[in-house]
Amino acid sequence: MAIGRRIWPVEGDPLRRNPSRAAQPRPSEPGFERWMWYFTRISGLALVILAMGHMLIMHVLVQLTGQEINFAFVTSRWGSPFWRIYDLLLLVLALAHGVNGARIIIGDYIERGGLRSLLVGILLAITFIWLLMGIFVILTFDPATAPAVGPFS
Amino acid sequence: MFGYRISWSQLAWLGHRLSGIGILVYLFMHIVENATLAFGPDVYDLTQTFFRNLPVRLGEIVLMAALVYHSLNGLRVIAMDFWPATTVWYRPLTYAVIIGTVAAMIPLGLIMITPYAPWNGS
């Protein structure tokens, strides 16, 4: 066992240093990367509560209380502003946290240059569309104006 | 498979990365699935029936395991970042994350699989 021996972070040894920017000690120079380093950790703490809470409600509590997820279930949940704000916060934080992680993973495997910029650009463009779609669905959900009969009936 | 001995920290890091990508991909699909809410109860309730079967439920159990692991390992990383003294305990903490994930997934997995489990006749 290695208890008592300081293993990580290893200073100055590139072979034993964790290769990921995501897992590295805080970026030494202030700027965007340092802000994202803090954001990842702070949003991560919030997401432990928000995401685990969401999964425990939707997949464990619903199961244990014999309910099922359908339009009526969503109507009763999003009838409360608390759960709408909860889900909105979860959507924005999870997407930003995850996409920033994906951006760092792209950066770890693709050398600085045109391809990296292209991939990160595509990632951000898709994320922007998906973010708007998610926010739109949460904010505009209204059973009173929803079409009662869909095209498949 | 690897040309060198892989350490627990590398394995924990790989697991964090893979679980993170998995959860992100799921999130993108989940946003699309939820967009069917805008088309009213008929469309949404029909969409939800696609998810009520054993293969999807097994996927949801994998998602839950990924989230539990990513959460616990993330807490370990945060502790080591903001409290460097804890890096001395990195190995026992890594074991604790793995044991914690398995221990949490036993009841969670059993609860989640119950309605679609083969031993329940469905």
**pLDDT(A6) > 50:** no
Furthest C-alpha separation in chain B: 56
Fold of B8-120: 3 helical TM bundles of succinate and fumarate reductases (1.20.1300)
Are A74 and A141 a contacting pair, CB within 8 Å? yes
What is residue B43's predicted lDDT score, i.e. its pLDDT? 92
What is residue B88's predicted lDDT score, i.e. its pLDDT? 83
Taken in order of first residue, the domains within chain A and their CATH numbers are 32-140 (1.20.1300.10)
Work out the end-to-end distance of chain B between its first and last CA atoms, rounded to an integer number of angstroms: 39
Give domain limits for chain B: 8-120
How does A36-54 read in b/e, with b if 16+ C-beta sit within 10 Å? bbeebbebbeebbebbeeb
The upper half-sphere exposure of residue A48, i.e. CA atoms within 13 Å in the direction of its Cβ, equals: 14
CA angle B60-A39-B79, nearest 5°?
Answer: 80
**pLDDT(B86) > 70:** yes
Task: Give B7-31 pLDDT, tens digit per residue.
Answer: 777 788 899 999 999 999 999 999 9
What is residue B89's predicted lDDT score, i.e. its pLDDT? 84
Q: A145 to chain B nearest CA, in Å?
A: 9
* Residue numbers in A near B74 (CB within 8 A): 44, 48
* Cβ-defined contact of B42 to A150 (cutoff 8 Å): yes
| Interface contact B105, partner A, CB < 8 A | no
Query: What amino acid occupies position A116?
Result: R
Q: Which residue of B has its CA nearest to A59?
A: B112
**Which residue matches tokens 């990160």?**
A120
Furthest C-alpha separation in chain A: 66
Give the C-alpha separation, B34 to A91, whole Å: 12
Q: Which two tokens stand for residue A27?
A: 């970026």
The whole-chain average pLDDT of chain B stands at 90
* Cβ-defined contact of B81 to A25 (cutoff 8 Å): yes
Give percent of chain B with pLDDT exceeding 70.
94
**Region of poorest pLDDT, from A13-22, A78-87, A144-153, B87-96:** A13-22
* Residue numbers in B near A148 (CB within 8 A): 40-42
Mean pLDDT (whole number) for A85-111 = 94
Distance between alpha carbon B17 and the CA centroid of its chain, in Å? 12
Give the C-alpha separation, A48 to A53, whole Å: 8
pTM of the model: 0.86
* Cβ-defined contact of A152 to B42 (cutoff 8 Å): yes
Q: Is the ipTM of this complex over 0.85?
A: yes
Task: Output A30 or A103, whichever has higher pLDDT.
Answer: A103
Give the C-alpha separation, A84 to A76, whole Å: 11
What is residue A14's predicted lDDT score, i.e. its pLDDT? 46
Mean pLDDT (whole number) for A37-60 = 96
Q: A1 to chain B nearest CA, in Å?
A: 8
